[in-house]
Amino acid sequence: MNLRNCINGLYDLDSKRYVEYVVKKENAESSYSLASSRVKMLGIELGKVQQNADGIPSNVGVLSIKSVNQAMSEASLRSNPKELFGPFWFEGEIGCLFADSNAGKSILAVQIAEEIAKSYKVLYFDFELSDKQFQLRYTDNQGNLHHFPPTLYRVSLEPDNLANLDIPFEDAVIRDIEKAAVACEANIIIIDNISILCMQMEKGDDAAKLVQNLRALKNKYGFSILIIAHTPKRDMSRIITQNDLAGSKKLFNFIDSCFALGTSAQGNSIRYLKQIKVRNCGIKFGADNVRVYSIEKDGALLHFVYHHDSPEHDHLKEQNREDLKMEVKKRVGEGQTVRDISRELGISKSAVGRIRQEVCHSTNKAVPTKDMGQQGQSGQQTTQSRRECLANGNLMFDSVTEGGDDVPF
């Protein structure tokens, strides 16, 4: 046996030993995980016994009663929800995507559905487009059709059956959404557009009833549901808030996550995506850090293309931004707090801070700086500059001159 064969033999031996080591490690980890789960389950059962011994009922009518530790132990045995669309929408949630007309809600909804359908069966309820309109949207100039995953199903209304309904239209659609999802064994549901199920979305009670019906389906079957909604006519100079969602006061309380699609002033095809409400994580893409996209058509595929993240303030119209700056300056001069200005103008507190900082910075440029070496002069000029800044309605003096980024609110 030559040297090369000896070396190869050693490599083979090491490989076999490594494989054996990995298998043993995986078996040990699996055994440990199984043992840990059994210990937790035993603890849960003991907790139930203790609760019963303490005279605490496990349920009262429709209510379940558990100690907080008991509830957490039981929840820890279930897997963590997976992201379906980044941090915007998680598994097991009722999510809501809303935007103004012609912003591209349906384009994004289909894109989300297509991506999820690569791993799960998805029902896309299309109450917006006809089948011909949908087909043309995903066809190139040569007539070639875009190919979607075979596990993505488009569901639309059947006109011939609408005349024979024995219950209200909205109730019939909810009933048949349930039947369709069960028949297709699909747990991912996207409804575009929710207006078809609630003709008077601006009436909060109607919107709340609709979402409660969807929540009942979610709890019964474990569905993940994304509803597409619209915004009433809004002031495009302001950042998007929950108040821009039609029927928001009641609807917003019953959904798990909510995100908005905004139209940018930087270009006709530029859009930005912003988180409005989350439950499974913190807000990552809020007013200070929205996701920026462009709507493009590559061949037969009409889709959103990600570019970068930026503050939402950058996407407001320039003229409106100048008006907004003047309004913020005026309100600061009147003594309003950052929180009040933020709430009344519908912009973030950090945006208010940035605007004040811009105005104050331009004011400070005229402040004299000579003779700073004499003791006491610096403090006098600082006081003078502070007074000038306050007289002009600016409260960010310390932040600007001393290098701070912000002030506590």
Name beta bridge partners: 273. 261, 291
119 part of a folded domain:
yes
Reported as type and span, the H/E element at residue 297 is strand 290-298
pLDDT at 125: 97
- The amino acid at residue 299 is G
Same domain, 288 and 331: no
13 part of a folded domain:
yes
407 part of a folded domain:
no
Query: Could you tell me the pLDDT band of residue 405, with boundaries at 50, 70 and 90?
Result: very low
Same domain, 142 and 177: yes
Same domain, 297 and 155: yes
Helix (H, G, I), strand (E, B) or coil at 95: strand
186-190, 224-228, 278-282: segment of lowest average pLDDT: 278-282
282 part of a folded domain:
yes
Same domain, 283 and 332: no
Instruction: Look at residues 253, 286, 314 and tell me which one is the last residue of a structural domain.
Output: 314
Strands (E), 47-130: 59-60, 63-64, 83-85, 89-90, 94-99, 122-126
Length of the chain, in residues: 409
Closest Cα partner for 273 from 93, 107, 114? 107
Residue 398 has pLDDT above 50, yes or no: no
Give 239-294 as a DSSP string. Answer: ---GGGSTTHHHHHHH-SEEEEEEE-TT-TTEEEEEEEE-SSS--SSSTTSEEEEE
Same domain, 345 and 378: yes
406 part of a folded domain:
no
Task: Report, as an integer, the average pLDDT of 141-152.
Answer: 96
| Contact assessment for residue 231 and residue 245, using Cβ atoms and an 8 Å cutoff | yes
Residue 128 has pLDDT above 80, yes or no: yes
pLDDT at 34: 66
Same domain, 44 and 121: no
408 part of a folded domain:
no
Query: Could you tell me the pLDDT band of residue 175, with boundaries at 50, 70 and 90?
Result: very high
Q: Count of domains in the chain?
A: 3
* Beta-carbon count within 10 A of 328 CB: 25
Q: Which residue has the higher pLDDT, 343 or 164?
A: 164
409 part of a folded domain:
no
Same domain, 100 and 231: yes
Task: Report, as an integer, the average pLDDT of 204-215.
Answer: 79
Average pLDDT, the chain: 80
Same domain, 273 and 192: yes
Same domain, 278 and 384: no
Q: What is the CATH number of the domain that holds 191?
A: 3.40.50.300
Q: Which domain holds residue 50?
A: 3-76
Phi, psi of 227 (to 5 degrees): -110, 140
Same domain, 13 and 121: no
Rounded to two decimals, the pTM is 0.70
146 part of a folded domain:
yes
pLDDT tens digits for 255-279? Answer: 999 999 999 988 889 999 999 999 9
Q: Which residue has the higher pLDDT, 87 or 38?
A: 87
**406/398 Cα distance (integer angstroms):** 9
Instruction: Look at residues 280, 314, 348 and tell me which one is the last residue of a structural domain.
Output: 314
pLDDT at 5: 63
Same domain, 277 and 168: yes
Same domain, 350 and 310: no
Instruction: Look at residues 297, 314, 331 and tell me which one is the last residue of a structural domain.
Output: 314
Residue 151 has pLDDT above 70, yes or no: yes
The distance from CA 110 to its chain's CA centroid, rounded to whole angstroms, is 17
Residue 162 has pLDDT above 90, yes or no: no
Residue 192 has pLDDT above 90, yes or no: yes
* Beta-carbon count within 10 A of 102 CB: 7
**181/330 Cα distance (integer angstroms):** 55
- The amino acid at residue 353 is G
